[in-house]
Amino acid sequence: MLIATRDFVSSFFNLKLTAILLFILGMIVMIPLHLGPPRSDESLIASSYIEKTRYALLIIAVVVVYVAVFLFLKKYWAQLNTIEKLIIIPLIAGLPFLLWDNYDSFMFTEKLTEWKNSGKDSKDFFLQYVVIYENWRAAGRILLYLSTIWFAIILMHHSFIKKWKGIVITIFSIIGVLFCFGFLFVSSDLYFPFMVPAIVMAPLYWLGLSILNEKED
């Protein structure tokens, strides 16, 4: 009886911790979202502290996401079926893209300054340097959306969240994937809102809230 109680408490704590971390994630990404759109001209240098704050927080947010999800997977791995365990594929594949994306953006000020000092036009920096890597940035965000869809399905299947909540979050994430592909292959005008890093992470925040609400119910 004591062992069963201990296992239940441990299981509940791990799930609760995952939910709390995902809730904290939401608080973190709200700050970059409210800093407005990233500077994409020479004003980037004058606003360096704002942009560095933005991307430092996004790097922290990525780490929080992975800690939260892997805490869950570590606890419930044995209970997952083979298909559910495949979530590690988009998760692991997406991590280097996401970390590189935000670190590279964090270093934009230095890169733009170096670009100017070499005699190049600062206007060309975002056309010749930034745009060329948009495929890689989109890849990371697509993989995170796919991981979120997988995670939502796992949570629904094991009754950790209500199915209607998981379905809504899954649909949102699928739309996000479609918009990311649209951005890549149709028009760069489709960047907003589903390519915005804070928006990409929003469904995970909602999953955290859903877990917390389910446990309170």
Q: What is the pLDDT of residues 139-195, one digit of tens each?
A: 999 999 999 999 999 999 999 999 999 999 999 999 999 999 999 999 988 999 999
Residue carrying the six token digits 């509940």: 12
Q: What is the pLDDT of residues 23-41, one digit of tens each?
A: 999 999 999 989 988 887 7
Q: How far apart are CA 113 and CA 127, in angstroms?
A: 15
Positive or negative torsion for Cα 106, 110, 113, 115: negative
Tell me the pLDDT band of 82, cut-offs 50, 70 and 90: very high
Residue 66 pLDDT > 50:
yes
Tell me the pLDDT band of 77, cut-offs 50, 70 and 90: very high
| N residues, the chain | 217
Please state, rounded to an integer, the average pLDDT across all residues of the chain.
Answer: 90
Positive or negative torsion for Cα 8, 11, 14, 17: negative
Q: How far apart are CA 217 and CA 59, in angstroms?
A: 33
Q: How far apart are CA 173 and CA 207, in angstroms?
A: 12
